[in-house]
Amino acid sequence: MDKQHGSSSLRVCEGILVQVAQGAWNLPMAEEYAAEAKQLIIEELPPQWVLLVDLRQWDYCPPEVWEYFNGVYEWYADHGMIAEGIVSTRKMINHFVTQLDKYRPIPCGQFFSEDYEEVRQWCRDQLNSYKRSSNG
Protein backbone atom coordinates (compact mmCIF):
# COMPACT_ATOMS: atom_id res chain seq x y z
CA MET A 1 0.00 0.00 0.00
CA ASP A 2 1.20 3.51 -0.77
CA LYS A 3 2.48 5.68 2.02
CA GLN A 4 0.06 8.38 3.13
CA HIS A 5 0.75 11.94 1.95
CA GLY A 6 -0.69 15.09 3.44
CA SER A 7 -2.46 15.58 6.74
CA SER A 8 -5.84 16.47 8.14
CA SER A 9 -7.37 17.45 11.43
CA LEU A 10 -11.02 16.98 12.30
CA ARG A 11 -13.11 18.31 15.15
CA VAL A 12 -16.75 18.79 15.98
CA CYS A 13 -17.94 22.18 17.18
CA GLU A 14 -21.63 22.94 17.81
CA GLY A 15 -23.01 20.73 15.05
CA ILE A 16 -20.27 21.60 12.58
CA LEU A 17 -17.62 19.15 11.39
CA VAL A 18 -14.46 21.22 10.89
CA GLN A 19 -11.79 19.76 8.63
CA VAL A 20 -8.39 21.34 8.06
CA ALA A 21 -6.43 19.76 5.20
CA GLN A 22 -2.73 20.30 4.59
CA GLY A 23 -0.24 19.22 1.96
CA ALA A 24 -0.74 17.07 -1.10
CA TRP A 25 -3.14 14.18 -0.54
CA ASN A 26 -2.99 10.73 -2.06
CA LEU A 27 -5.65 8.02 -1.87
CA PRO A 28 -4.46 6.48 1.44
CA MET A 29 -4.71 9.90 3.09
CA ALA A 30 -8.19 10.47 1.67
CA GLU A 31 -9.33 7.04 2.90
CA GLU A 32 -7.96 7.68 6.40
CA TYR A 33 -9.64 11.08 6.53
CA ALA A 34 -12.99 9.65 5.36
CA ALA A 35 -12.92 6.83 7.93
CA GLU A 36 -12.23 9.29 10.76
CA ALA A 37 -14.85 11.76 9.51
CA LYS A 38 -17.53 9.07 9.17
CA GLN A 39 -16.85 7.89 12.72
CA LEU A 40 -17.23 11.45 14.07
CA ILE A 41 -20.42 11.97 12.06
CA ILE A 42 -21.99 8.80 13.43
CA GLU A 43 -20.81 9.22 17.02
CA GLU A 44 -20.73 12.97 17.71
CA LEU A 45 -22.86 14.97 15.29
CA PRO A 46 -26.60 15.63 15.44
CA PRO A 47 -28.86 14.22 12.70
CA GLN A 48 -28.43 17.42 10.65
CA TRP A 49 -25.00 18.98 10.53
CA VAL A 50 -22.71 21.25 8.49
CA LEU A 51 -19.27 20.63 7.01
CA LEU A 52 -16.63 23.40 7.17
CA VAL A 53 -13.53 22.59 5.12
CA ASP A 54 -10.37 24.68 5.40
CA LEU A 55 -8.22 24.09 2.32
CA ARG A 56 -5.92 27.12 2.58
CA GLN A 57 -2.87 24.90 3.21
CA TRP A 58 -3.95 22.04 0.95
CA ASP A 59 -1.87 21.50 -2.19
CA TYR A 60 -3.59 19.15 -4.59
CA CYS A 61 -4.69 15.58 -5.15
CA PRO A 62 -4.65 13.24 -8.14
CA PRO A 63 -7.83 12.44 -10.09
CA GLU A 64 -8.49 9.19 -8.21
CA VAL A 65 -8.74 11.15 -4.96
CA TRP A 66 -11.27 13.58 -6.48
CA GLU A 67 -13.27 10.55 -7.65
CA TYR A 68 -13.08 9.01 -4.17
CA PHE A 69 -14.33 12.27 -2.63
CA ASN A 70 -17.41 12.13 -4.87
CA GLY A 71 -18.46 8.98 -3.01
CA VAL A 72 -17.60 10.51 0.38
CA TYR A 73 -19.75 13.55 -0.46
CA GLU A 74 -22.69 11.27 -1.31
CA TRP A 75 -22.25 9.45 2.00
CA TYR A 76 -22.25 12.79 3.83
CA ALA A 77 -25.43 13.86 2.03
CA ASP A 78 -27.05 10.53 2.98
CA HIS A 79 -26.03 11.03 6.63
CA GLY A 80 -27.37 14.48 7.45
CA MET A 81 -25.06 17.06 5.88
CA ILE A 82 -27.25 20.10 5.19
CA ALA A 83 -24.57 22.61 4.12
CA GLU A 84 -20.91 22.84 3.19
CA GLY A 85 -18.63 25.82 3.61
CA ILE A 86 -15.18 25.82 2.01
CA VAL A 87 -12.30 28.17 2.82
CA SER A 88 -9.73 28.15 0.06
CA THR A 89 -7.72 30.12 -2.45
CA ARG A 90 -9.50 31.92 -5.29
CA LYS A 91 -8.10 29.43 -7.83
CA MET A 92 -9.46 26.41 -5.90
CA ILE A 93 -12.80 28.14 -5.30
CA ASN A 94 -13.13 28.68 -9.06
CA HIS A 95 -12.47 24.97 -9.59
CA PHE A 96 -15.13 23.95 -7.04
CA VAL A 97 -17.72 26.24 -8.58
CA THR A 98 -17.23 24.61 -11.99
CA GLN A 99 -17.79 21.18 -10.39
CA LEU A 100 -21.04 21.91 -8.50
CA ASP A 101 -23.29 20.31 -11.11
CA LYS A 102 -21.63 16.93 -10.40
CA TYR A 103 -22.92 16.85 -6.83
CA ARG A 104 -26.32 16.19 -5.38
CA PRO A 105 -27.87 19.38 -3.99
CA ILE A 106 -27.98 19.60 -0.20
CA PRO A 107 -30.69 21.55 1.69
CA CYS A 108 -28.69 24.72 2.44
CA GLY A 109 -26.14 24.51 -0.36
CA GLN A 110 -22.46 25.38 -0.49
CA PHE A 111 -20.55 28.56 0.26
CA PHE A 112 -16.97 29.39 -0.76
CA SER A 113 -14.67 32.17 0.46
CA GLU A 114 -11.05 32.96 1.17
CA ASP A 115 -12.10 34.27 4.60
CA TYR A 116 -12.32 31.63 7.36
CA GLU A 117 -14.51 33.72 9.69
CA GLU A 118 -16.95 34.48 6.87
CA VAL A 119 -17.33 30.77 6.11
CA ARG A 120 -17.58 29.81 9.79
CA GLN A 121 -20.35 32.37 10.35
CA TRP A 122 -22.19 31.21 7.21
CA CYS A 123 -22.04 27.61 8.45
CA ARG A 124 -23.42 28.60 11.87
CA ASP A 125 -26.18 30.66 10.25
CA GLN A 126 -27.22 27.78 7.98
CA LEU A 127 -27.38 25.33 10.86
CA ASN A 128 -29.35 27.72 13.08
CA SER A 129 -31.73 28.64 10.26
CA TYR A 130 -32.31 24.98 9.42
CA LYS A 131 -33.02 24.17 13.09
CA ARG A 132 -35.53 27.05 13.33
CA SER A 133 -37.34 26.00 10.14
CA SER A 134 -37.45 22.36 11.25
CA ASN A 135 -38.97 23.26 14.63
CA GLY A 136 -41.47 25.55 12.92
pLDDT in tens, 2-46: 566 788 999 999 999 999 999 989 999 999 999 999 999 999 999
- Domain boundaries of the chain, sorted by first residue: 7-135
Higher pLDDT, 81 or 66: 81
Q: What's this model's pTM, rounded to 2 decimal places? A: 0.90
- What single-letter DSSP state applies at residue 94? H
Nearest of 16, 29, 106 to residue 61 by alpha carbon? 29
Q: Are 55 and 87 in contact (CB under 8 A)?
A: yes
Q: Is 7-135 assigned to CATH 3.30.750.24? A: yes
pLDDT tens digits for 126-135?
Answer: 999 999 998 7
Amino acid making up residue 113: S
Q: Mean pLDDT across the chain, nearest whole number?
A: 90
- What single-letter DSSP state applies at residue 17? E
Distance of CA 23 to the CA centre of its chain: 16
* % of the chain beyond a pLDDT of 90: 70
